[in-house]
């Protein structure tokens, strides 16, 4: 992580872990949930199989958005924290 990336990460981490996870759910989970749910609607249409009930699609959508978004957010947070605590090349210059 460069010095400017560390400064950027400091600003993100100052907002807090919960804030970061919520944004991750919106940035990563929401598009993923939309794509998978649309696939569950479109594929049965073209394969002439019965579509799953709407309530099942909505519950699956909600689960996908929350699970995938939280998983991606937690992994990104851990990776950024690990990289943040590693010394940069700028730290070695005196």
Each residue's pLDDT tens digit, 25-40: 999 999 999 999 999 9
Distance between CA atoms of residues 94 and 83, nearest Å:
21
- Checking if the pLDDT of 94 tops 70, the result is no
Give the model confidence (pLDDT) of 72-89 as tens digits: 999 999 999 999 998 877
- Checking if the pLDDT of 93 tops 60, the result is no
Q: Count Cβ neighbours within 10 Å for each residue of 57-92 and write b for 16 or more, e otherwise.
A: beeebeebbeebbbebbeebbeebeeeeeeeeeeee
28 within 8 A of 67, measured Cβ to Cβ: no
Domain boundaries of the chain, sorted by first residue: 17-85
32 within 8 A of 64, measured Cβ to Cβ: yes
Give the model confidence (pLDDT) of 46-74 as tens digits: 999 998 999 999 999 999 999 999 999 99
């Amino acid at each position: 992580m460069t010095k400017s990336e560390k400064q950027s990460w400091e600003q993100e981490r100052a907002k807090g872990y919960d804030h970061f996870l919520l944004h991750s759910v919106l940035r990563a989970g929401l598009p993923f949930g939309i794509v998978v749910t649309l696939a569950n609607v479109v594929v049965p249409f073209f394969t002439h199989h019965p579509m799953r009930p709407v309530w099942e699609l909505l519950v699956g959508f909600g689960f996908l958005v929350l699970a995938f978004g939280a998983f991606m957010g937690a992994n990104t947070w851990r990776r950024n924290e690990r990289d943040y605590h590693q010394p940069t090349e700028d730290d070695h210059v005196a």
